[in-house]
A and B are shown apart, each in its own frame.
Chain A
Amino acid sequence: MATVTNWIDHLSASEVAGQVYPYVGTEWLWLTIAIVFWIWWHISTAAGETEEQAKLGRKKHGPNDYKKNIPDW
């Protein structure tokens, strides 16, 4: 829902409200969602990294094996 629907009315009020972003008063909700997203990101990417490295480690490549994979393009 729009916090401001008419700039002239808003700016000519006796006391101008500073916050103009939508859904003023719901900041806790956005913060909670953001923190959940942040923690989920760590868990998800850590699991992916562990799995990828375990798979690569099992192949026992030598320290110079990567050289055969250097592309020329």
Chain B
Amino acid sequence: MDNELAALTTIFTEFYYWMTVVLMFLIHVGFCMYEVGASRYKHHQHTLMKNTLLIPLVTITWFFFGWWIYWAFPTGPGLAPSIMTENSNLILGGGFGANDLANATNPLMAVNLGDHIMGVFWAAFLLFSWTAASIVSGAVIERITTFAFGILAIAIGSVFWSIDAAWGWHFDGWMLKILGYHDAYASGVIHAICGGFALGVLAVLGPRIGKFSSSGEPRNIGPRNPWLVCIGLFLIYTGFWGFYAACNVPIFNLGPEYGMEGVTFFTATNIYMTPTTLSGITMNFLLSLAGGLLAGYWVSKGDPFWTYSGGLAGIIAASAGNDLYHPLQSLIIAAIGTVCAYKLHYWVERKYKIDDAVGAVAVHGYAGVVGLVICGFVLWGYPSSGYSVGSMWVGTDYAPINPLGMIIGAIIMFGVLGFLPGWILAKILHGAGKLRIPRDVELAGLDYNIMEAASKDEKTVASSSR
């Protein structure tokens, strides 16, 4: 940085991503509160620990290999040519197939005076990874072992979502080039995949004891503490602002980036380096929240749990195209996604006896899939990348956004990279006897020993006179 303007741009961008990380931390606070509020008293503390431990586990594995996967596999490998060639000056070399910045042993993955962005960008993606694992966490409460959840959290948080991000959420991703995939705020690359992964795990894990009657009728195990659930979901909404901001590049000159001679065009961009505005996505975020809340209230006949969840499902459904939609389109898409998610949740629960304790598969998975499919129709014909018109990217084409590509993309996200790995890993853990807690422990409560010790402590203190 040898001039003030370059320094200002760089350090502004560094601070911008840093702020998004702080805001996104609230998503995790919200998820913890939400899960504890939804769990029963005798499982509270283990539920909290399970979700908390994904923070360190996903963080270290994201440093070890998660971030590297994102940079290593945008082209498949072998499914599409890369635009990161020597001509484009984007190839950085090294890093075992990825670029040097993502290599855990490279000096650039540390305090480095020559780089102000990669650490905060790494952290922003890490917070997405926590969210990915946390989505799965809520669905499996009260009966999964902490060990099994740790393995599954690493799998979804540092491996599978990272692969899908490389494929469909990277400016060089093969899904953009071949399918015309577009997913600006992660309807698919975070939400659909995690919903699918959770469903795969739940299919093996089975329901909580008592969830279904002997005739197969589902019973409601309502939130133990609705206030905690309410605050948790509000915090998730709040953190979602940071999530949206983190999916953008705040300031970028697209003229030279697209190879347009003599053109200067500074703007915010989405993750694919196509232009959008923070102003516009703010309106879309709020209108999709509103659409989800209204639809959630209506379809659930005023149920608070589903009204709040509807707000989240609404944002998730509209997220794929919220960089380009009109706010009123966001509103309608959010409402449709929320109604679909609600209906599918109860249909799957009855038909397949799936016990999704917090509705995570519905809110994230089904709403995400619906959002991707709708995006394919509404944004039909838009370029999936600005690089498709640049003369500097010789030999590489990007398909335009289209319904078929988005439907295939949704199947890849929810099914291929979500459900399938979740189901296989759960089967392996189940086969090793490590997936589910013993029946007697589930009945007694995971916290029984902690509560018993606390009770003894209380009696001892109460009977003390000095």
Task: Report whether B147 and A49 are in contact in the complex, using a CB–CB cutoff of 8 Å.
Answer: yes
Question: Are A31 and B64 interface neighbours, CB within 8 A?
Answer: yes
Quick check: A66 and B110 within 8 Å, CB to CB? no
The interface residues of chain A lying within 8 Å CB-to-CB of B42 are 66
Known A-B contacts A19-B110, A27-B106; A34 and B64 likewise in contact (beta carbons under 8 Å): yes
Q: In the complex, what distance in Å separates the CA atom of A60 from the CA atom of B444?
A: 7
Scan A43-70; emit 1 where CB is below 8 A from any B CB, else 0: 0011001101110111111110110111
CA of A72 to CA of B457, assembled, Å: 11
Out of B104, B113, B445, name the residue touching A66 (CB < 8 Å): B445
Cα–Cα distance between A16 and B114 once the two chains are bound (Å): 8
Question: Helix, strand, loop or mixed for chain A's interface?
Answer: helix
Contact A62 B105 (CB under 8 A): no
Within 8 A of A (CB), among B86-136: 104-108, 110-115
B458 within 8 A of A: yes
- A38 engages B444 (CB within 8 Å): no
Our pick among B104, B105, B114, B441 for the contact of A53 (Cβ within 8 Å) is B441
| B113 neighbours in A (Cβ, 8 Å) | 16-20
Could you count the A-B residue pairs with CB atoms below 8 Å apart for me: how many are there? 106
Once A19-B112, A56-B441, A62-B444 are accepted as A-B contacts, the answer to whether A70 and B451 lie under 8 Å apart by CB is yes
Chain B contacts of A20 at CB under 8 A?
111-113
Q: Say yes or no: A68-B455 contact (C-beta < 8 A), given A27-B106, A31-B64.
A: yes
With A42-B150, A66-B42, A72-B458 in contact, is A21–B111 under 8 Å at CB?
yes
Interface residues on A, range: 35 or more
A71 CB contacts on chain B under 8 angstroms: 451, 454-455, 457-458
Distance A58 CA – B448 CA, assembled complex (angstroms): 13
Question: How many Å lie between the Cα of A16 and that of B2 in the bound state?
Answer: 12
A53 to B150, CA, bound (A): 17
In contact, A38 and B61 (Cβ under 8 angstroms): yes
B438 partner residues in chain A, CB cutoff 8 A: 53-54, 57
C-alpha spacing A53/B60, complex, angstroms: 27
Inter-chain contacts of A66 with B (CB < 8 A): 41-42, 444-445, 447-448, 451
Q: Check B147–A69 contact: CB distance below 8 A.
A: no
In the complex, B277 has a CB within 8 A of chain A: no
The answer, yes or no, to whether B7 is at the interface (CB within 8 Å) is no
A27-B107, A69-B454 known; A63 and B444 CB under 8 Å? yes
- Assembled-state Cα–Cα distance A46/B42 (Å): 21
CA distance A53 to B61 in the complex (A): 27
Q: Are A19 and B107 within 8 A (Cβ)?
A: yes
Q: Which residues of A contact B115 (CB under 8 A)?
A: 18
* Of the residues A21, A31, A59, A69, contact of B455 by C-beta under 8 Å: A69
Q: Are A56 and B145 in contact (CB under 8 A)?
A: no
Instruction: Tell me, yes or no, whether B85 is within 8 Å of chain A by CB.
Output: no
Give A70 to B452 CA distance when docked, in angstroms.
8
Q: In the complex, what residues of A have CB within 8 A of residue B228's CB?
A: none
A49 to B435, CA, bound (A): 12
Determine if A31 and B147 form an interchain contact, defined as CB atoms under 8 angstroms apart.
no
Q: Is A35 an interface residue (CB 8 A)?
A: yes
The yes or no answer to B261 lying at the interface (CB within 8 A) is no
**1/0 per residue A4-15: CB within 8 Å of B?**
000000000000
From residue B374, how far is it (CB to closest CB) to chain A in Å? 41
Please give the distance in Å from B173's CB to the nearest CB on chain A: 28
Query: B431-453 toward A: CB 8 Å interface, digit per residue (1/0)?
Result: 00010011111011101110110
At the interface, yes or no: A1 with Cβ under 8 Å from chain B?
no
**Could you tell me the distance between the alpha carbons of A38 and B438 in the complex, rounded to whole angstroms?**
26
Q: Does B162 touch A at the CB level, under 8 Å?
A: no
- Complex: A35 Cα to B110 Cα, angstroms: 17
Given contacts A31-B104, A54-B438, A73-B458, 9 further A-B contacts (CB under 8 A): A21-B110, A24-B107, A34-B60, A45-B146, A50-B434, A53-B145, A60-B440, A61-B444, A69-B452
Instruction: Pick 25 A–B contacts, CB within 8 A, sort by A.
Output: A20-B113, A24-B107, A28-B105, A31-B105, A35-B64, A38-B60, A38-B61, A45-B146, A45-B147, A46-B147, A46-B434, A53-B437, A53-B438, A56-B444, A56-B448, A57-B441, A57-B444, A59-B444, A62-B443, A63-B443, A65-B444, A66-B451, A68-B455, A69-B455, A72-B458
B: residues with CB less than 8 A from A are 41-42, 60-61, 64, 104-108, 110-115, 145-147, 150-151, 434, 437-441, 443-445, 447-449, 451-452, 454-455, 457-458, 461
Closest 10 CB pairs of A and B: A18-B114, A61-B444, A57-B440, A19-B107, A46-B147, A69-B451, A18-B112, A27-B105, A69-B455, A71-B458
